[in-house]
């Protein structure tokens, strides 16, 4: 009988209850904002090259985050080189590449299954297979009694935390999968308007519960984060967004472990997942806000270029006007103020156009562009007035 299981005495917080009936308004506010921002990213219009670069950027960040938490020291630049097949490491550090490759391959396969119309389903077997995959090729770096994907007979834990009794782990993984794939939730994936919010909730809870159960001999954190990613990705959360929880945990590593520890000790030892949920939602929303600014910046520059081309089409074409248009576009792409003397160096085209001109020509060009509000001059130089495209941003004190 389940009621006779040892974990009920030793780990009463593993109750398969979300306690969302006790969630305060901040939980729901953050969840709503997170779901809305994920939808905004999903609907974002970007050139294919920019979209691919964004996917790659957050894939690299996610792979680094999920391995760095457990001690991998490769930088984002090194992981980017590894993606391109260019990273070389001494033999003593080759295993670091293997750890990252395992994460990258697992993530890419999750996407491949989604694209083929066969999204993965959370089961105890899926979790075991995920752990095997994440530890593949690393056997010589594991403890002697650790076998990837298998529940060891000895106790397993991290820091001062000890996982659930070994004899109960298989049952607990089965129950966890059934609970998370079931419909005993206030937001459900079968309602389209709830789909993203449901995915976020279940992703956080699968992470927390795998960490609580701690079933495998090694790689429990990586397994938890991969399961979290899978649940988000299969429900349509855009790939750049689906890596943000792992990024948050890595950026706040000490707080991450503190929140995990508090979640089991809260409520007089009966546990409370809501603190970890709030911590996760706050970090997720922070990451989404930053991501929105990044995407908005790309879109703003595209809108600026469209605006500039449109405005100059209204003016009779001449070498001077083509030169001034190129100055405006180059300053808009760079985004930072540029000293007047450095403006011809912004692009090869400008360098050619100003090569045989005097400084007076450059001054006339800048004055003309400033008078027509394309540019603004400040202490640090000239900059494009790209912010004029923000039509509805209110003034701030």
* pLDDT digits 0-9 by tens, 29-42: 999 999 999 999 99
Q: Average pLDDT of 212-232?
A: 95
Distance CA 133, CA 123 (A): 15
Query: In this structure, is residue 102 part of a structural domain?
Result: yes
Q: Average pLDDT of 117-136?
A: 96
Place of tokens 């009463």: 12
Q: What is the pLDDT of residue 26?
A: 97
Task: Report the number of distinct structural domains present in the chain.
Answer: 2
Q: What is the pLDDT of residue 145?
A: 84
Q: Residues 355-364: pLDDT tens digits?
A: 988 899 999 9
Of how many residues is the chain composed? 397
Please, which pLDDT band fits residue 111 given cuts at 50, 70 and 90? very high
For residues 284 and 320, state if they share a domain. no
Please, which pLDDT band fits residue 391 given cuts at 50, 70 and 90? low
Give residues with Cβ within 8 angstroms of 37, minimum separation 6.
Answer: 241, 285, 288, 289, 291, 292
Distance CA 53, CA 167 (A): 46
Distance CA 344, CA 375 (A): 15
Q: Average pLDDT of 127-152?
A: 92
Domain coverage including residue 270: 2-295
Q: Average pLDDT of 277-306?
A: 95
For residues 141 and 210, state if they share a domain. yes
Q: Which of 243, 217, 246 is nearest to 110 (CA)?
A: 243
Q: What is the pLDDT of residue 185?
A: 81
Is residue 45 exposed (0-12), middle (13-18) or buried (19+ Cβ within 10 Å)? Answer: exposed
How many other C-beta atoms can be found within 10 angstroms of the C-beta atom of residue 256?
A: 20
Q: Residues 19-75: pLDDT tens digits?
A: 999 999 999 999 999 999 999 999 999 999 999 999 999 999 999 999 999 899 999
Q: What is the pLDDT of residue 334?
A: 85
For residues 335 and 283, state if they share a domain. no
Q: Is the pLDDT at 396 greater than 60, yes or no?
A: no
Q: Average pLDDT of 172-184?
A: 93
Query: In this structure, is residue 307 part of a structural domain?
Result: no
CATH number where 373 lies: 1.10.10.10
Alpha carbon of 375 to those of 186, 191, 331: distances in Å? 52, 49, 9
Is residue 336 exposed (0-12), middle (13-18) or buried (19+ Cβ within 10 Å)? Answer: exposed
Query: In this structure, is residue 33 part of a structural domain?
Result: yes
Q: What is the pLDDT of residue 267?
A: 76
Quick one: tokens of 276? 């970890």
Q: Pick the last residue of a domain from 232, 265, 295.
A: 295
Q: What is the pLDDT of residue 397?
A: 43
pTM, two decimal places: 0.89
CA atoms within 13 A on the CB side of 140: 7
């Amino acid at each position: 009988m389940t009621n006779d299981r040892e974990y009920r005495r030793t780990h009463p917080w593993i109750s398969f209850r979300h306690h969302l009936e006790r969630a305060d308004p901040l939980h729901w506010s953050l969840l709503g904002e997170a779901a809305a921002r994920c939808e905004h990213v999903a609907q974002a219009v970007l050139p294919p090259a920019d979209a691919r670069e964004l996917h790659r950027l957050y894939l690299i960040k996610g792979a680094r985050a999920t391995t760095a938490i457990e001690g991998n020291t490769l930088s984002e630049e090194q992981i980017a080189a590894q993606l391109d097949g260019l990273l070389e490491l001494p033999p003593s550090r080759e295993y670091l590449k293997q750890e990252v490759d395992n994460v990258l391959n697992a993530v890419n396969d999750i996407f491949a299954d989604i694209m083929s119309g066969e999204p993965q389903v959370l089961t105890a077997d899926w979790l075991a297979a995920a752990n095997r995959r994440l530890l593949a090729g690393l056997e010589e770096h594991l403890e002697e009694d650790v076998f990837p994907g298998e529940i060891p007979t000895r106790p397993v834990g991290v820091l001062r935390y000890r996982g659930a009794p070994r004899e109960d782990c298989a049952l607990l993984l089965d129950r966890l999968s059934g609970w998370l794939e079931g419909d005993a939730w206030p937001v459900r994936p079968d309602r389209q308007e709830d789909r993203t919010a449901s995915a976020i909730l279940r992703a956080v809870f699968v992470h927390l519960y795998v960490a609580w159960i701690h079933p495998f001999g090694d790689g429990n954190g990586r397994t938890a984060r991969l399961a979290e990613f899978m649940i988000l990705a299969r429900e349509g959360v855009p790939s750049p967004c689906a890596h943000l929880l792992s990024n948050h945990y890595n950026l706040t590593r000490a707080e991450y472990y503190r929140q995990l520890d508090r979640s089991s000790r809260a409520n007089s030892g009966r546990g409370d997942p809501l603190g970890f949920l709030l911590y996760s939602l706050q970090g997720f929303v922070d990451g989404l806000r930053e991501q929105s600014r990044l995407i908005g910046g790309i879109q703003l520059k595209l809108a600026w270029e469209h605006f500039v081309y449109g405005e100059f089409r209204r003016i009779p074409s001449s070498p001077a006007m083509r030169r001034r248009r190129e100055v405006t576009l180059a300053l808009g792409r760079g985004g930072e103020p540029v000293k007047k003397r450095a403006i011809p160096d912004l692009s090869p085209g400008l360098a050619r156009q100003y090569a045989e001109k005097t400084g007076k020509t450059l001054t006339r060009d800048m004055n003309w562009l400033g008078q027509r509000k394309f540019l603004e001059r400040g202490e640090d130089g000239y900059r494009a007035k790209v912010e004029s495209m923000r039509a509805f941003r209110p003034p701030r004190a």
